[in-house]
Amino acid sequence: MTGAFRPEPRAARASGASRAPRRRAAVAVLGAALAVVALASGCGIRTTSVPVDAGAAPSRVPCKLPSADVTTRSPDSVAAPVYLVCASQLVTVDRPVPADASGSGALGAARALLDQVRQAPPESERRAGFSTAVPAELRVEPSRAGDPAGTLRLSSQPEDLSEEALAQLVCTYAENEALVTKGSVVLGGPGEYPPRGYLCTSQTKARPQDGTTPDILDPD
């Protein structure tokens, strides 16, 4: 009869029933994806569908001079190791000192090395990360009567210098045999305090800013 209700074939009913769970699963997946996007937006993360070039990673300070940048020296000078600060450590660079500095006694060698360690690093050294904490006005004077052998008197009390400046000076002087007495560098100041012996240790070089270095000895 025309217009009469015709029951849907069983196969069609089964197909519709099987599609319903799949639709619900698709809706659940879509909802989860939207939640992730919303969470990323809330955290300030900008989503993108293409790779992003964030640029090169920041380079580390080399603390090493290219051979082309090593300071040239004149025929009447010799290369001497001087300790500078680089990456919070003490690192040596070779600086030219007068060839006759070592032959002029301990005071002459001490003054020549101080001239170099207090000098502002040239551009090549600054590019490599080097700096100095030794004051430009610091001076070194002869010992006084009654001072222990090998004493060097500074224009400032050693303990009034910053930890890094004192470590730089002690380690620089420790590289010169003429400035070492019984394994230590003996320094005093302009005051009446007795001179003291300072050691340059591996810890001094690794962490000069700690304040626990250099180790202090009382010379005989």
Residue 50: pLDDT above 90? no
Give me the half-sphere count of Cα atoms (radius 13 Å) on the Cβ side of residue 103: 5
Greatest mean pLDDT range, 20-24, 65-69, 153-157, 189-193: 153-157
Residue 141 Cα distances to 28, 32, 152, 157, 218, angstroms = 84, 78, 6, 12, 20
Model confidence band, residue 57 (pLDDT cutoffs 50, 70, 90): very low
- Name beta bridge partners: 217: 197
pLDDT at position 155: 97
% of the chain exceeding 90 in pLDDT: 54
Over range 22-46, report the average pLDDT.
45
Model confidence band, residue 188 (pLDDT cutoffs 50, 70, 90): very high
Over range 162-187, report the average pLDDT.
94
Stronger pLDDT, 69 or 101, i.e. the higher one = 101
Over range 181-207, report the average pLDDT.
93
Residue type, 196: R
Residue 99: pLDDT above 90? no
CA atoms of 72 and 95, how far apart (whole Å): 9
Over range 211-220, report the average pLDDT.
54
Query: Mapped to the 3 state alphabet, what secondary structure does 152-178 carry?
Result: EEECCCHHHCCHHHHHHHHHHHHCCHH
**Considering only CA atoms, which of 209, 213, 184, 188 is closest in space to residue 197?**
184
CA atoms of 100 and 109, how far apart (whole Å): 9
**Considering only CA atoms, which of 154, 141, 137, 155 is closest in space to residue 198?**
154
Stronger pLDDT, 108 or 18, i.e. the higher one = 108
pTM greater than the 0.75 cutoff: no
Over range 95-111, report the average pLDDT.
84
Rounded to the nearest angstrom, the gap between the alpha carbon of residue 167 and the centroid of all alpha carbons in its chain is: 15
Weakest-pLDDT range from 4-18, 75-89, 91-105, 177-191: 4-18
